Amino acid sequence: MKFLIVGLGNIGTDYEHTRHNIGFDVLDTMAAKYEATFSSDRLANYALIKLKGKQLHCIKPTTYMNLSGKAAAYWANKLNIEKENILVIADDLALPISKLRLRSKGSDAGHNGLKNINEVFNSIEYPRLRFGIGNTFEKGRQVDFVLGKWTEPEIPEIKKGIENAIKAVELFVLEGCERAMNKINQG
């Protein structure tokens, strides 16, 4: 059984380990756990993780956030993966730091990466894992906050959140979206 795991973020050193790149950070940590390596491929950095007989095709789009749908659609088509087996990992301002929310479908909630995926897929019917980044920014400073780095006191909590996000991906793959949602969304 094949899955496409899409971690959203922006390429380039300026964006490394920013709040907006939490999708990249989750996939980087997961790849390290499973001793997988990302390599540059068409529209994305790609790694294959094998988990109990399942194939997790992990991509970090190199299209920048606003064109994430282009990479997600290319890889879903190339690998012939159905939308219900696609999981998109994105940051979410509406959730407290490290809080996770798994949904089987939904709106973009103002997230440009999800908005583009919705447009390219012409659908909101695909699973997504939202990772809370909080919203402690002054009025008019949202872009700076989202593209900013984590503060020193936040880092231990983010590391724990990334571990929980990896567990969420594993649950999604091994137990299905509904059962994973019941476990993840309670916390």
Burial of 186 per CB tally in 10 Å (0-12, 13-18, 19+): exposed
Helix (H, G, I), strand (E, B) or coil at 124: coil
**Residues linked to residue 87 through DSSP beta bridges, in sequence order:** 5
Catalytic site residue from 17, 20, 57, 111: 20
Q: How far apart are CA 118 and CA 172, in angstroms?
A: 20
| Tokens matching residue 141 | 């400073």
Q: Is 20 a catalytic residue?
A: yes
Q: How far apart are CA 97 and CA 33, in angstroms?
A: 23
* Residues carrying an active site annotation: 20
